[in-house]
Amino acid sequence: MSKERKRICPECKGIIKSGHTEMVYELENFKITIKNVTANICSKCGQSFIPGRVAEEVNRLVNRVIEDINSFIKTQPEASKGNKEIAIAV
Ligand SMILES: [Zn+2]
């Protein structure tokens, strides 16, 4: 017997399948994109649902990256000028 239950999208009633998505964090000078985040994606409207545990892990990673960026900027102030985009694929 399969434990897998069909999950239905609350937005459009489409079927939700497991897949990957991107999480984007907009900071003052930087935009951080985390790619390949495990998520449940609606096959109809494309809405992604990120499990709480995964969101926590990504938040922890991003917080660490932000700390590193901030200490980097302190030594390299020129690097913070203009909009920077950081993409992390996990
Ligand atoms: Zn949907």
The confidence score (pLDDT) of residue 80 equals 67
Three-state SS annotation for the chain: CCCCCCEECCCCCCEEEEEEEEEEEECCCEEEEEEEEEEEEECCCCCEECCHHHHHHHHHHHHHHHHHHHHHHHHCHHHHCCCEEEEEEC
The confidence score (pLDDT) of residue 81 equals 73
The confidence score (pLDDT) of residue 33 equals 94
CA of 41 to the centre of ligand 1 (A): 8
- What phi, psi does 62 have (nearest 5°)? -65, -40
The confidence score (pLDDT) of residue 14 equals 97
CA of 33 to the centre of ligand 1 (A): 23
CA of 40 to the centre of ligand 1 (A): 11
Mean pLDDT by runs of 10 across the 90 residues of the chain is 75 96 88 94 96 94 91 81 78
CA of 50 to the centre of ligand 1 (A): 14
The confidence score (pLDDT) of residue 43 equals 96
First-to-last CA distance in the chain? 32
The confidence score (pLDDT) of residue 4 equals 60
